[in-house]
A and B are shown apart, each in its own frame.
Chain A
Amino acid sequence: MSGNMKLLILLVAITISGCTSLGVQPWDRDVLAQKKMQVDPYPLDTYLDEHIYYSKESASGGRGVGGGGCGCN
């Protein structure tokens, strides 16, 4: 098993085991309900940035799946 995979499994385990003690009560979600606190409040900005950097750099991925390909020369 590569070092990267061990690190990944360790980080996922820490994340999941730590999750159960974190969070807020349902009535404390006022701030998290705001648009500016969403994971992706402006999906078109994200889409356009991902298209630019997919065309100009070698790395991609990490945020989700789907969306389609391009020739991008």
Chain B
Amino acid sequence: MQLKKQASIRKALALATTSMLTMTTQQVMAADEPSGWELDSSILFYSEKDRVTVVEPVIRARKEISEDEFLNMRLVVDSLTGSSANGATAQNTAQTFTSPSGNETYTTSANETPLDPTFLDTRVAFNIEWEKPLSNNIRGVFGANVSSEYDYTSIGASAMLNWDFNQRNTTLTTGVSYNQDNVDPVGGIALGLSAMPLTTATSKTEVGSDDTKDVADVFLGVTQVIDRKTLMQFNYSFGKDSGYLTDPYKILSVVDGVSGNLRASDPYLYEHRPDSRTRHALYWSTVHQFEKDVLRGSYRYYWDDWGIKSHTIDLKYRMDLGEKSFLQPHVRYYVQDEADFYHYNLIDGAIPQFASADYRLGKLTTTTLGLKYGMAIDKDSEFSIRGEFMKQVSDGEGDLPDVDAAIVQLSYSLRF
């Protein structure tokens, strides 16, 4: 296997060049032996002001099972509590809503954006990937994933091929994935744009207890070595969602077109989204090393047939503090247009076929600022902590409050 030998020599040369000043010969030889286990673990704390709190531990293991053949596994548990905007708008009087189960009510004070306080969910997700060389320059990655939460399950599979050429300076990547999800909401599935009951004595108009959603994605990408210190990637992804895409817990307020007051009968309707969605994303990223610092930047343009267009810019600048630690500031900026069927509220007498007041489908800007500190404990383990602040501002009609979130992630990686 001449090519394998050359690959090993290249690997050894690269490692020797980078490591000669800081590592012993013994360590260089150890790094070139077939790897054992690589373990990455993290715990994420995500907390929105007055809204949702999430604690999410995740562990990822990677093992070389034979030469250049790997198994990757990831297990995630996330537990969510707190309040979420229900879609209704603030009014100058207090408002009372029924919970999704229909067994309880909750009240929102005058001039406050209504939040449903009944959210409580735990999600467990497992993903496994098998990376296998299919020829000297083609690698396959085959994956399967399953996740389960109280009202939602998802099962899926993916396959990806990476083809290296041009002396391994260019990699073409193509992949497909398919997920089948099941939505089993508390209180069943309401008829789209039917009235939300105002008391626990009445029931919603139900069309079933659960429904399905299919998600298919196709991916094409090019990764290119530009020079000794620069790498660039350009990707396109296409996705198709079909089935039940409505959020079963979201409602809209219906107001009088002249006075702006809530209409007297059936003032709240369950939202209703189209049953298909076609998504496109173009993604470009670059990694460049200066003296030792590394700049990582990306831009994504996204558009779909719901009328949403968005731009995402992400920048990370890693500054090495000596040989063992680094600091990495992070800035992310995201802006989106609203979906065609997004409405701040509905006007009595002009109810459309599809409507949602979910602020995540409205005009929106998200700004995130963060800082990460990483530290090598020894040659086989690393610890890091990052803190970020995220601010979401709704830019469309009405006066929706900002969503402010604090994010803290602790990570520990180990090779053995």
Contact = CB atoms under 8 A, between A and B. Distances in A.
Contacts of A63: 235, 237, 283
Interface of B: 6, 10-11, 13-15, 17-18, 40-42, 44, 46, 56, 58, 60, 74, 76, 78, 84, 119, 121, 123, 125, 127, 129, 143, 145-147, 149, 151-152, 154, 156-158, 160, 166-170, 175-177, 179, 181, 183, 213, 215, 217-229, 231, 233-237, 239, 247, 249, 279-283, 285, 287, 289, 294, 300, 302-304, 306, 308, 310, 312, 318, 326, 334, 336, 339, 360-361, 364, 366, 372, 384, 386, 390, 392, 403, 407, 409, 411
Contact of A65 (B119, B121, B177): B177
B308 A58 contact: yes
Contact of B236 (A8, A38, A71): A8
A71 B152 contact: yes
Contacts of A60: 239, 279, 281, 302
Contact of A15 (B147, B222, B247, B384): B222
B411 A23 contact: no
Interface string A5-40: 000100110011011101111111111111011110
A33 B282 contact: no
A51 B118 CA distance: 21
Contacts of B390: 52, 56
Closest 5 interchain pairs by CB? A23-B169, A66-B158, A62-B283, A71-B152, A59-B302
A70 interface: yes
A25 B281 contact: no
Nearest to B144: A66
Contact of B13 (A11, A27, A66): A27
Given A45-B409, A62-B281, A64-B175, A19 B17 contact: no
Contacts of B170: 19-20, 22-23
B176 A67 contact: no
Interface of A: 4, 8, 11-12, 15-16, 18-20, 22-34, 36-39, 42-45, 47-48, 51-53, 56-71, 73
A24 B215 contact: no
Given A30-B17, A44-B42, A70-B123, A23 B224 contact: yes
A71 B186 CA distance: 12
A59 B312 contact: yes
A25 to B, nearest CB: 7
Contacts of B308: 58-59
Given A32-B225, A32-B228, A57-B364, A37 B121 contact: no
A24 B281 CA distance: 29
Contacts of B280: 4, 61
Contacts of A53: 334, 366
Contacts of B14: 29-30, 32-33
A34 B217 CA distance: 31
B270 to A, nearest CB: 14
Secondary structure of the A contact surface, majority rule: loop
Given A15-B234, A33-B11, A37-B289, 7 more contacts: A43-B60, A44-B58, A44-B411, A57-B366, A59-B308, A61-B237, A66-B143
Contacts of A19: 166, 169-170, 222, 224
7 contacts: A8-B236, A20-B170, A31-B289, A56-B360, A56-B392, A57-B364, A60-B239
Given A24-B169, A27-B10, A69 B225 contact: no
Contacts of A68: 125, 127, 145-147, 154, 156, 179
Contacts of A65: 158, 160, 175-177, 217-219, 237
A73 B411 contact: no
B237 A62 contact: yes
B147 A69 contact: yes
Contacts of A27: 10, 13
A58 to B, nearest CB: 5
A61 B239 contact: yes
Contacts of A61: 217, 237, 239, 279-281, 283, 302
A70 B78 CA distance: 11
Contacts of B125: 68, 70
Contacts of A57: 310, 334, 336, 360, 364, 366
A57 B318 CA distance: 26
A19 to B, nearest CB: 4
Contacts of B76: 47
B49 to A, nearest CB: 14
